[in-house]
Amino acid sequence: MDAFAEYSRWLENVKDESLLEDLRSIEGNEEEIRGRFHEHLSFGTAGMRGVLQAGSNRMNIYTVGRATQGLADYINEVYGGGAVAVSYDSRIMSEEFAHETASILAANGVKAYIYSRLMPVPMLSYAVRELKCQAGVMVTASHNPSQYNGYKVYGSDGCQLTDDDADAVLRRIQKHDYFSGIKNMDFDKAVSEGLVEFIAKKVCESYYSDLMTCRINPEIPLKKHNISVVYTPLNGAGNEPVRRVLEMCGYDKVTVVPEQENPDGNFPTCPYPNPETDEARRLGLELSAKVNPDVFIATDPDADRVGVAFREKDGSYRSLTGNEAGILMLDYILKGLTENGKLPENAVVCRSIVSSSMADEIAANYGAEMRTVLTGFKYIGEQILLLEQAGEENRFVFGFEESCGYLGGSFVRDKDGVYACMILCELTSYYKSKGTTPLEVLDQLYDKYGYYRHKVDNVAFPGADGVDNMKALTAALRKDPLTEIAGFKIVETDDIMKKEHTAEDGTVTPIDLPAADVLIYTLENGAKVIVRPSGTEPKMKLYLSAKEDSAEKSDILVGKLEEGIKEATGLK
């Protein structure tokens, strides 16, 4: 793709004045032009995501339009027509992109159901299934910085697209030009003609009702054991649904961080609105120090991820990692269902391959089957679909990823931060009624199963060549395999790209997972190091895990692993 020729073509064809001004501002800047026009914005199972700017490799009304035309073609050619559910979060241009998506679908004879105001990922996934749509579109860039937006596409099962379906949509997208051949119509006209329909309130109410069935101990909160909560939606889409669900459960002592309550795509208080980070949690924890709640919870802009901190005995707050929150919820759910006689026979729980294997021990303790899947919540959703096809979806109990994504029940097929907030508050209230705290319970779990420690390190690969450089690094690791990390011998290697497990004696056996650019190293001391390029950001992700007989020893080992893998790979 000739970046400079494409830049000139956009200058000639762009009608949007703000984008045209943006194009003119980079005239003569070869590096910037190359970055924006050297390729098309990639489209895959996670849809597409990019910086809000003019350019074929950026998020704008033209790249959204081209993608939607391809999706409309896919719906018409594969299903012979149908419907698509559309939602959006608080990001800059999210509503405009959502309306453009609905208008193009309508012009192509595909019915568009759209929320009348911003709604989170789980409610989009729910609407796809509830309205029997052939697909769904969520306009969001999840927890990326404010200059990003994105376009997630869901299949008829409410999951993000599979590899095959994403490829099928992409082939149709590639047939279209940004400036011609894209059918469109006025949004208001499409609404008046019934081609675009606002999603009815009863769909939201049905989602809330289904959530209530996921409570483990629905009598909680008891009057004398009610809890206080500080919550932040981080200026995103979680404010309304999270507060509504907590109210339905009886939690009436909820304080919302005022600076982060209302939707604002600029995210003025935390440029990187990821509830895993100290920066995003700062205001909430400062408010917690004044209000003294039992629990502090935070959802990201599209409310599919949740961060949590619990009050210590000394009044301070301890933030949990995504793994710790997942482990705590998993044990609470399995324990409660068992005690209440409601644990399904042959119960199924899921985790991603980069999430804590401590969960495997907890699942086994309650007789539940653990299914380990690739990173990406669509793979957990896929397991629910398989159960559903066998008439056994009630066997699915819980699934999680270390990146603060959690799901219970089978009516949503993506991360559900609203559900996670409900369960985290419920277990806080439950343990309070028993005279203990979530942190004390977590420490007891470590005493029982061992001191698992995990760390995720992100190494940025910026620039137009970032993705290629990441691929080159993992290719080099395959060509010249590592034999040790931090002085510890590698005894097993799982190459998910090759779908091969290599044992210490060199024996190779197949791995029953879809191919993915992931390398998993198991060391002689039982520790693990995982190397994986991010699927949504130009970052190499390093996952480090250790299990020792004390927290201190595990933390020290994780530090050694981090230093060792960076030295072995040349990463900084």
Q: Which residues are catalytic?
A: 142
Structure tokens at 264: 């604002």
Single-letter amino acid code for the residue at 212: M
Residue showing tokens 């698992």: 452
- What 3-state DSSP class applies to 226? coil
Q: In what order do the strands lie in the sheet with 111-114?
A: 48-51, 148-154, 135-139, 83-88, 111-114, 196-198
Distance CA 463, CA 51 (A): 13
Structure tokens at 186: 């006025």
Q: Rg of the chain's alpha carbons, rounded to an integer?
A: 24
Q: What angle do CA 364, 366, 368 make, to 5 degrees?
A: 60
Distance CA 403, CA 392 (A): 27
Q: In what order do the strands lie in the sheet with 369-373?
A: 369-373, 348-352, 396-401, 405-407
Residue showing tokens 């369960």: 423
The 10 Å Cβ neighbour count of residue 9 is: 16
Q: If you write DSSP's letter for every residue of 181-213 in order, what string do you get?
A: S-----HHHHHHTTSEEEPPHHHHHHHHHHHHT
Structure tokens at 356: 């804590």
Q: If you write DSSP's letter for every residue of 139-152 in order, what string do you get?
A: E--TTS-TTEEEEE
Structure tokens at 380: 């957990």
If you ran DSSP here, which 8-state letter would residue 160 be given? B
Cis check for the bond before 293: say yes or no (omega within 30 of 0).
no
CA–CA distances in Å: residue 2 to residues 100, 181, 403:
28, 22, 37
Buried b (16+ CB within 10 A) or exposed e, 18-49: ebeebbeebeeeeebbbbbbbebbebbbbbbb
Distance CA 284, CA 317 (A): 11
Residue 547 CA to its chain's centroid (Å):
26
